Amino acid sequence: MRLILKLILMGLIVWGVSKFLTAIRFEDAAAAFIFVIVLALLNAIVKPILIILTIPITILTLGIFLIFINAIIILLADYLMEGFTVDGFIWAFIFSLILSVANSLVEALLTEKDAE
């Protein structure tokens, strides 16, 4: 149940963010929810491989390079998905920062709800 609630909340956040960032576009709300699922799958499958391949640069940058990996994952989702477009790496980077903060807030919200 928690996973479904998290996916719904992130889908709403992603859809809302796309309304403010004109370089991030979804065809419709359904595409935003599909994007969240695709992003979750890419984070589960591709991201660990990228992290392992980039361990030296991640260590040198004290983990900051992981934000670039998140942007690459978003660009990969753009490539794999129809109905979602992002206008370049800089916008994917900004979008990944916003999604990281939003994900932290959703996690905190759901953890607080579980504690009750």
Rounded to whole angstroms, the Cα distance separating 85 from 111 reads 32
Stretches where the chain sits below pLDDT 50 are: none
Strand, helix or coil for residue 24: strand
Reported as a single tens digit per residue, the pLDDT across 74-94 is: 999 999 999 999 999 999 999
Residue pair 99/42 in contact (Cβ under 8 Å)? The answer is no
Name the residue with tokens 């309304």. 19
Q: What is the DSSP string of 88-105?
A: SHHHHHHHHHHHHHHHHH
Structure pTM? 0.89
Reported as a single tens digit per residue, the pLDDT across 2-14 is: 889 999 999 999 9
Rounded to whole angstroms, the Cα distance separating 72 from 68 reads 6
